[in-house]
Structure 1
Amino acid sequence: MARKKKKVGTYPSGMILFSLTLALFLIGFCGLLAIQSKRLVTYIRENYEMRAFLDKDLDSTKVAALFRTLSERPYVLKNNGSAQVTLVTKEVAAKEFIAETKEDFSKFLGENPLRDSYRIKLNEEYFDEAKLQGVKTDLEQIDGVFEVVYQENLVDSINRNITRIYLIMSAFALVLLVIIVVLMNNTIRLALHSQRMLIRSMQLVGATNGFITRPFLGRGIWQGFLAGVIAVVLLLITLQLAIRNLPELGAFQDYEKMAMLLAGLVGLGVVIGFLSTFQAVHRYLGLTLDELY
């Protein structure tokens, strides 16, 4: 049986495709976590509330005027043009307190000591201790506002933890990217080892480096593209399984950023495939005959 001739640019590629797909999947997974966490952080910040307790015995006209005043403040969150300011009467507040503590204070006090209040949601950019203090000071200067309260220690704690999480994820993604490049260089170099003599033979018959390199680069780009597409499909399957088992995740999807991430993964696969193949081929192009053996 005649021995099958080797064709330039062909080499075992299953391990390369598997390694690059796995690496791109892990990077994409980190990206998805970052996007989801950013949406979650935005949700937490925009649902954080300040409570502005009102002076007692305000009539309905003054309460309504106070609502309009609060709604015009630049730091108040607005959804579809509607200010996120909610009136909680002292009767409602009493029911909430009794439901939480299981104690009816009206039985031994004989009256409801609580005050009417407005619960105010703020824009995300004001989720900072210094800015919240400024908001608190501004609200307390409004006529009819008795006191403004919020959980002060919670804000700093959340911001510190968010920064720490982003730093850890960024460091992990960077280390993973370095590992990918090194791994791909070594894997492609080993795969091209079987073609080293063919490369040398082409050099001896006068083939230029560009002519020799072209089919290898084409194969490397195709492998990077294919690995990126497979990684994207796996990420979408993983995301759908996660949403199916945890429907609340559906509210934290940012489809624009996700599309950019998935397109970036395919592009990253192409770039890594190109650069790793280019470096590996040029290494063999520069070897002497003794070094080839």
Structure 2
Amino acid sequence: MATDPRRKPETARGAAASRSPWRQQAESYLNHHRKVARDSAERLWRNPVASFMTWAVMGVALALPVALLLLLTSLEGVSAGWESSARLTAYLQLELPEERAHELREEIASDGRVTEVELVNRDQALAEFRTSSGLEEALDYLDDNPLPHTLLITPEQGARSEAGVEGLVSFIQAMNGVQRVQVDLGWLQRLNAMTDLLARAVWALSLLLAAAVVLVIGNTVRLSIESRRDEILVAKLVGGTDAFVRRPFLYTGAWFGLGGGVVAFILLQLSLWWLSGPIERLAGLYRSEFTLNGLNFDGALALIIVAMLLGWLGAWVAVKRHLDDIEPGEIAGG
């Protein structure tokens, strides 16, 4: 039996027709989102002064905690570098023979928390002191060598924290023949305490400023809702859903967040450029390699995304609070 070749195109058209409502609905949804996003951006550009003031407020509020976080990260890097270069100096008893000093060196080196132990005997220490001090003639008047044998101990990587160094100091100090163990942990303890305090202050400030950003955007969107009250009433009268009415304001909040994030990034880069010279000169005076690191690409992207989320959240809070108060019955009542 022959098959009519016209049936296949008809079948294809029927399948396309059966899929078209879903496709049309999806395309209509996406097109509406694009139109609302474009219209929201155009409304901001039509009021450049008010929009820029809002972006500036958001930029300052976002840049301040991010700048403090960058400073905190740089300080933590400096602290980690100082911890990694920590070395203990163990002064042995003056009358301790050199054989016993070698035994102590081997005993300490066998500990898993120690990477390297260097023995500086009394004669070597005196020779180095004579060379570096410039007191050769005065040292010639000494009857005996006043310097003890010394052990220079380098902790293992995992023991280079404040607690690890303190534990190693207690272990070495308790050994027979050790007079004193010297390591300056006071500055490290103070730096860690200041860093911890700064970290908590930065997070508290970040939360407060994030709340301020949400309130600023919420108040701005609230004013926009009030100015478009009649438009909202008409949209609800013709059957517009809450999501349909809410969408333009949410996009407005997101655009405010995007602009605020860009302004914050620009402020951070300008501040870094302005401060980099004095910071480098100050670090050079203290023979430090401290540098203030800026935002990389991932950090800048995260800043902008967080700003857009805060803007969206502020708009959502304002819409949720004020849009429900606008009902179509107001027209009938008026």
Per chain length, whose mean CA-contact separation is higher, i.e. which structure has more relative contact order (CA < 8 Å, sep 6+)? 1
Q: Is 1:165 matched up with 2:181?
A: no
Kindly state the Cα deviation for residue 283 of structure 1 after the two structures are TM-superposed. Answer: 3.2
The 5 Å alignment of 1:1-293 reads 9=40, 10-11=43-44, 12=47, 13-54=51-92, 58=98, 62=102, 66=105, 73-76=111-114, 83=115, 89-91=124-126, 94=129, 98=133, 106=139, 109-122=142-155, 123=157, 126-128=160-162, 131-140=164-173, 147-151=180-184, 154=187, 156-247=189-280, 248=283, 251=290, 261-288=299-326
2:119–2:152 contact (8 Å) kept in structure 1: yes
2:257–2:308 contact (8 Å) kept in structure 1: yes
Kindly state the Cα deviation for residue 73 of structure 1 after the two structures are TM-superposed. Answer: 4.1
The separation in 2 between residues aligned to 1:34 and 1:124, in whole angstroms, is: 22
**Consecutive unaligned residues in structure 1, runs of 5 or more:** 1-6, 77-82
Say if 1:191 and 1:103 are closer, same or farther in 2 by CA, change over 3 A.
farther
The separation in 2 between residues aligned to 1:170 and 1:254, in whole angstroms, is: 19
Kindly state the Cα deviation for residue 107 of structure 1 after the two structures are TM-superposed. Answer: 5.3
The separation in 2 between residues aligned to 1:153 and 1:176, in whole angstroms, is: 34
For 1:33, the aligned partner's letter is L
The separation in 2 between residues aligned to 1:267 and 1:142, in whole angstroms, is: 57
1:53–1:118 contact (8 Å) kept in structure 2: yes
Query: Which SS does the other structure have where 1:109 is aligned?
Result: coil
Say if 1:220 and 1:107 are closer, same or farther in 2 by CA, change over 3 A.
same
For 2:196, the aligned partner's letter is T
Query: Which SS does the other structure have where 2:89 is aligned?
Result: strand
The separation in 2 between residues aligned to 1:137 and 1:121, in whole angstroms, is: 15
Aligned residues: 273
**Consecutive unaligned residues in structure 2, runs of 5 or more:** 1-37
Higher mean Cα deviation, 185-194 or 208-217? 185-194
Higher mean Cα deviation, 205-214 or 281-290? 281-290
Kindly state the Cα deviation for residue 185 of structure 1 after the two structures are TM-superposed. Answer: 1.8
Q: Which residue of 2 aligns with 1:80?
A: none
The separation in 1 between residues aligned to 2:137 and 2:216, in whole angstroms, is: 67
Report the aligned-residue RMSD.
4.0
Query: Which SS does the other structure have where 2:148 is aligned?
Result: coil
Kindly state the Cα deviation for residue 50 of structure 1 after the two structures are TM-superposed. Answer: 1.8
The separation in 1 between residues aligned to 2:159 and 2:299, in whole angstroms, is: 24
TM superposition score normalised by structure 1: 0.72
Deviations 1:50-92 (A, max 9, x none): 2123465537x949x93x765664434xxxxxx5766655136
1:24–1:228 contact (8 Å) kept in structure 2: yes
TM superposition score normalised by structure 2: 0.64
Query: Which SS does the other structure have where 1:120 is aligned?
Result: strand
Say if 1:206 and 1:183 are closer, same or farther in 2 by CA, change over 3 A.
same
Kindly state the Cα deviation for residue 32 of structure 1 after the two structures are TM-superposed. Answer: 0.9
The separation in 1 between residues aligned to 2:320 and 2:255, in whole angstroms, is: 19
2:72–2:198 contact (8 Å) kept in structure 1: no
1:127–1:155 contact (8 Å) kept in structure 2: no
Kindly state the Cα deviation for residue 186 of structure 1 after the two structures are TM-superposed. Answer: 1.9
